[in-house]
Amino acid sequence: MPKSIWILMVATAINITGASFLWPLNAIIMTQLLGQSLTASGAVLMLNAGAGVLGSLIGGRLYDRIGAYPTILLGCVLSAASAVLLAFYYGEYGWYAVFLAGMGFGSGMMAPSMYALAGSLWPEGGRKSANAIYVAQNVGVSLGTALIGVVTLVRLTDVFVANAAMHVLLLVYIAVFFRHWSGSKGRTAGAGIQHANKASKYRLQALWVVSVAFFISWLGYTQWQANVSVYIQSLGIPLHAYSILWTMNGLLIVLAQPLIQWVIQKGRLTLKGQMGLGLFIFALSYLVLTQAQVFSGFFVAMLILTIGEMFVWPAVPTIANALAPSGREGAYQGIVNSVATGGRMIGPLLGGIVVDRFSIQVLFVLISILLLLAIPLVRLYDRPLLKEHQNDHLNNAQ
């Protein structure tokens, strides 16, 4: 891999490590430290995710207009400022919600720029550039969640200091190592956004078809962070066992990359073949969950889920980068990142409604059906591009 991709991976890992200090403890912080209900805890997470959606859309647009470095730096400044202020004012529910939303907005601005910049810096890498960022994210998750026990050894509130320190470190890192990318604006690299005005509507239609399948994937995935955790505890399985599942998830994503690449190459999987296979494996994991009653059942389900995740998550930003007209890479990455964040925002609420009205087994079956229905969307997402080719052919003939 080029040195530039390693620089992006380190920045991504630092960013996600900081965020991973907080998200597993949000419910505990809200209920035990701030004296709020679980409903209020869920509302704060929705506000954080909603700010992330807005940040992703704005960040993607800014990447195309002003370049990678200014956009990423601005997002990091907003996120770091919110994290530092949170370290001082975490004791009030209102400020906690505001600063968490500020972190979501800033991180949302950075995410599409990271993926778009990776594709720009290593265009010949194809899906490998998006996969590198994805692996770095999971290194950050594994590192952050693993360090929670050390950080909170003295006081729970030390997580706010650790989170702020990681964000300040990221800001310094970006200011030092990203400066020479100040003019990067995707494949046009400074040619200006005027070429993007001819962006094909058919490419955008294709992107939205993929995004629907991506959204469904995240609806299901978030159940592991919300309703599955509660279900596991209701069966008498301790919380530390649940954390082992996520540790396994992160380690497998990092260590099993050679195996996944071998399967993709051996099976000659296209991007939509890769994503379709991942969706099928996702659906299988939720069917396994319907029968899980002991820890080993959940372990097998998480193992299957992780394999599916390794096929789906890197494929979507790669497809977005391939579909994006020159000068619109940031906007397209902003769309898929906002779709993922939207799924994280709506998933826990939707899952809770289904569990309350029916049962968690019904939820697992429903998610499996939705994932299977999403496979034809992926198989047919490039159909609108045929119309684009037909129009180009007619224009050339004239």
pLDDT 10s digits, 182-221: 655 554 444 444 444 444 788 888 899 999 999 999 999 9
**Model pTM?**
0.81
Place of tokens 């800014």: 62
User: Is the Cα torsion angle 118, 120, 121, 123 positive or negative in sign?
Assistant: positive
Q: pLDDT over 90 for what percent of the chain?
A: 48
Once rounded to an integer, what is the mean pLDDT over residues 347-376?
91
Place of tokens 């159940």: 223
And the tokens for 58?
A: 């704005």
Burial of 303 (0-12, 13-18, 19+ CB in 10 A): middle
Q: Specify the 3-state DSSP secondary structure of 1.
A: coil
CA distances from 45 to 280, 345, 365 (A): 29, 7, 25
CA distances from 77 to 53, 81, 133 (A): 18, 6, 21
192 vs 53: CA distance, rounded Å: 25
Q: Is the confidence at residue 85, as pLDDT, over 90?
A: yes
Q: Is the confidence at residue 24, as pLDDT, over 80?
A: no
Q: Of residues 156 and 302, which shows the higher confidence score?
A: 302
253 vs 323: CA distance, rounded Å: 26
Q: Specify the 3-state DSSP secondary structure of 159.
A: helix
And the tokens for 282?
A: 């996702």
At 44-56, the pLDDT tens digits run: 888 888 999 999 9
Beta-carbon-side half-sphere exposure of residue 194 (alpha carbons within 13 Å): 2
Check residue 92 and report its DSSP letter. Answer: S
Q: Is the confidence at residue 356, as pLDDT, over 80?
A: yes
Q: Is the confidence at residue 387, as pLDDT, over 80?
A: no
Residue 99 has a pLDDT of 95
Task: Give the residue among 186, 211, 189 at the shortest CA–CA distance from 114.
Answer: 186
> 133: part of which helix (H) or strand (E)?
helix 127-151
* Beta partners for residue 187, in sequence order: 185
At 110-128, the pLDDT tens digits run: 999 999 999 888 888 778 8
